[in-house]
Amino acid sequence: MAKVDITLHTEIEGTLPRVPFDNIKRAILGTRYELSLVLMGDTLATTLNKEHKDKEGPTNILTFPIDTHEGEMFINLERVARDAESFGHTYLEHIAFLFIHGCLHLKGDVHGDAMEREEERLLKTLYIDTR
């Protein structure tokens, strides 16, 4: 059995989304990278967005690199539900898209056309709809 190198925390009630987090993380960050993933709602997302980005309202994702082989990621599932359709994604696709986005940031990528192309390429190759 493969070692799971993501620690998953949930701050909201409900069933965990069926997204291949570990496979995506390994493809982007490698097997030595340790990642803590928190699935949250609007309340925590609003608090963290204000504390760490000095922005109002609930963000969709926040990433915090700790060092070159460790980081934290927070994904707001309530915001995902509201935003997925406007991105042309299903709910689960949008979670996977944001997870890919966060992993690319933890790897050191910055917003721009190249990152957007890489996000879409990785979504097509790494996300498999398991509904």
Domain spans of the chain, in order of start: 6-126
Average of per-residue pLDDT across 33-51? 95
Contact between 34 and 23 under an 8 Å Cβ cutoff? The reply is no
Whole-number pLDDT of residue 16 = 78
* CA–CA gap between residue 99 and residue 105 (Å, rounded): 10
- Give the pLDDT score at 127: 85
Please state the φ and ψ torsions of residue 105, each to the nearest 5 degrees. -65, -45
What's the pLDDT tens digit per position in 83-130?
Answer: 999 999 999 999 999 999 999 999 999 999 999 999 999 999 998 765
Q: Homologous superfamily of 6-126 in CATH?
A: Metalloproteases ("zincins"), catalytic domain (3.40.390.30)
> Which residue did the predictor score with more confidence, 21 or 17?
21
* Cα three-residue angle 14-20-25, rounded to 5 degrees: 115
Q: What pTM value is reported for the model?
A: 0.90
Instruction: Say yes or no to pLDDT of 78 above 80.
Output: yes
Residues whose CB falls within 8 Å of the CB of residue 8, separated by 6 or more in sequence, listed in order: 16, 21, 37, 38, 39
Nearest to 36 by CA among 16, 9, 55, 68: 9
**Residue 1's pLDDT band (cuts 50, 70, 90):** very low
Question: In the predicted model, is pLDDT for residue 26 greater than 50?
Answer: yes
